[in-house]
A and B are shown apart, each in its own frame.
Chain A
Amino acid sequence: MITANPAPEAGTEARTGSSPVRAVTRRKKRQWLPYLLLLPVVVAELLIHIIPMLIGVGMSFLELTQFYIRNWTAAPAAGVGNYRFVLQFDEASGKALLHSFWTTVQFTVIVLALSWLLAMAAAIWTQHAFRGRGLVRTVFLVPYALPVFASVITWSFMLQRDNGMVNHVLVDQLGVTDERPFWLIGDNSFWALIVVEVWRLWPFAFLALTAGMSSIPAEQYEAAAIDGAGVLRSVRWVTLPNLRSVNQVLLLVLFLWTFNEFTVPYTFFGKSAPEQADLISMHIYQNSFVTWNFGTGSAMSVLLLLFLLAVTAVYLLLTRKKDVDA
């Protein structure tokens, strides 16, 4: 389970300090206190998360079209009609949803692989001190620190066909092609979006991997060196095994972020993404606010959530089983 601090089961001996006796008395006397402290967040979670989510699930069973959004109690029940509608893969809307889903899957896999590889390489290169390491690490954080909308809008300027930097380099300076390619529409838009997303995401992976590597005991590398291991072998036999739990969480977090990505495509394409780069969050958003059919929009959101939960559950089961085997 992904918790920052694996707690003992709630029923077992409580330990709030190094003195168990005092902790127990405190526990008995003050048992109401933790609940009181949690109360504001629990109320807020209920109001902003739990209740809206339940209402969202409810909405997916309603015929919640533009006539009923302002008065949703009057919306007629749709049963599973919304789900049946969005999953009609032989109809245009179902086809578009399936296409968007596969686009998102491919996008996520490629972004994850590239971000992880860049981050891993950078983390290995900066693992041992050298002159300028602090500066390099700070530079790597810049993409992560910039507000997404500001940096992504810059990328969209760089990738303009006629006055952008990328085509200036490719066509005018290097002469790779004669024809100026489009980057914000057509097949290229998928790859352009990947570059921007990787640019934005890999620093976070770098942070996590660097933190993970800093806790690997130096003796392990010394032992590997005595056994005659070079750089690559010590990465393979010391670094990677030690990063196992970091990677387990990191990949899951990166997966969920990338799969749900909205801000980057929305800013990059300016509200309407081309079909080739139609990520699922954008797809649901555009569908909901173009057709104003929140019933089908909610049905798609619920399906997305179920998919993410299923992937997460399977992933956690598989990775934990491996931990037991290892």
Chain B
Amino acid sequence: MREPTWFVWSRRIGLTLLCAFALLPVWVMVTTSLKPLGDVQGEFRWFPSTVSLDAFVEMWRTIPLGRYFVNSLVVSVIASVASVALALLAAYAVSRYRFTGRQLFSVTVLSTQMFPGILFLLPLFVIFVNLGRTLGIDLYGSRPGLIITYLTFTLPFAVWMLVGYLDSVPRELDEAAAVDGNGPMGAFFRVVVPAAMPGIIAVLIYAFMTAWGEVLFASVLTDESTRTLAVGLQGYATQNNVYWNQIMAASLTVSVPVVVGFLLLQRYLVAGLTAGSVK
């Protein structure tokens, strides 16, 4: 179709504005992280007066950023790996078999994904506290406790996205594996899993990202020793001073791995994210 001039111009202007809107916080984050403290206390500056890496050094000292970092990493890695491992088996069953209860299972998984987190937070809080009191299992304030609560959101969408990916693996592959003498599980591990690997990694990354950014559960169910980044970053605001350059340096530091991972796997992620909602 030939594009009229007004459309081309509206596109140029519109897309430029939208890109500016999308990148504005990134600009502020990057430039502010390079500013000395004096630059962020007065009027806003678009550029640092002098480029300084102080914020990237001091940010580790103002708050226990390193500890928060490790906490976030441990909790997010375990939660995402565990949920993908469990979800992969379930997704294989849903994708390759027709059985009684299949529909019920799919609908339950999908709907719990949409429930408000606060609905699970209060009971989980009470359960954790009472398990600690009666059985001596200390889940409240612990990493395992947080990991369990993170499964409430990583597990459903991992199932959901993986069903989409496994559906896109041709069934002829299963059959070829069966001809070679593999049982269903042999076919699953030798053929289906390798073929769906890009999708599996995409789900892993996506689960990691959501766990990495989670705030609701972490704000209540962690203590000083298990606090994660998402909650801990608030600590840069003291009563007398807000170290904006350090907040931005820390935000940038914790964002880079996730953004790079996302953009590298963009193609697979986009396919998986949209498969759940669009198909």
Interface residues of A (CB under 8 A from B): 1-5, 7-12, 14-19, 22, 26-27, 30-31, 33-35, 37-38, 40-42, 44-45, 47-49, 52-53, 55-56, 59, 64, 69-73, 118, 121-122, 125-126, 128, 130, 136, 138-151, 153-155, 157-158, 162-165, 167-168, 172, 199, 203-204, 207-208, 211-212, 221-222, 225, 230-231, 234, 245-246, 249-250, 253, 256, 259-260, 262-263, 266-267, 270-271, 281, 284-285, 288-289, 294, 297-298, 301-302, 304-305, 308, 312
Contacts and interface: CB of A to CB of B under 8 A. Distances in A.
A231 B3 contact: yes
B61 interface: no
Contacts of B99: 10, 14, 31, 34-35
27 contacts: A3-B103, A4-B167, A4-B276, A7-B106, A10-B99, A40-B89, A40-B90, A52-B123, A53-B123, A56-B120, A139-B22, A141-B263, A145-B209, A150-B213, A150-B254, A153-B234, A164-B44, A199-B21, A222-B1, A231-B1, A231-B4, A246-B278, A263-B213, A263-B230, A301-B116, A305-B115, A308-B116
B194 interface: no
B117 A281 contact: yes
A160 to B, nearest CB: 8
Given A48-B151, A142-B259, A16 B96 contact: yes
Interface in B60-118: 86-87, 89-90, 92-103, 105-110, 112, 114-118
Contacts of B7: 231
Contact of A136 (B15, B24, B109, B121): B15
Contacts of A151: 25, 29, 251, 255
A122 B175 contact: no
Interface of B: 1-4, 7, 10-11, 14-15, 18-19, 21-26, 28-29, 32, 40-44, 46, 86-87, 89-90, 92-103, 105-110, 112, 114-127, 129-130, 133, 148-149, 151-152, 155, 159-160, 163-164, 167, 171-172, 174-175, 184-185, 209, 212-216, 219-220, 229-231, 233-234, 237, 244, 247-248, 251-252, 254-255, 258-259, 262-263, 266, 270-271, 273-279
Contacts, number: 338
Contacts of A143: 22, 25
Given A17-B171, A139-B23, 5 more contacts: A10-B102, A145-B209, A151-B29, A212-B278, A301-B116
B93 A38 contact: yes
A150 B90 contact: no
Contact of A45 (B124, B155, B234): B155
Nearest to A232: B7
B237 A270 contact: yes
Interface centre among B25, B175, B248 (most CB of A within 10 A): B25
Nearest to A133: B15
B114 A122 contact: no
B22 A140 contact: yes
A306 B108 CA distance: 16
Given A3-B103, A27-B98, A207-B273, A125 B244 contact: no
Contacts of A260: 116-118
Given A41-B89, A158-B25, A49 B98 contact: no
B232 to A, nearest CB: 9
Given A4-B163, A125-B15, A69 B22 contact: no
Given A69-B129, A149-B229, A8 B98 contact: yes
Contacts of A249: 277-278
B103 A7 contact: yes
A142 B167 contact: no
B98 A14 contact: yes
A73 B126 CA distance: 11
Contact of B119 (A17, A56, A267): A56
A10 B124 CA distance: 34
Given A16-B98, A262-B216, A154 B22 contact: no
A52 B120 contact: yes
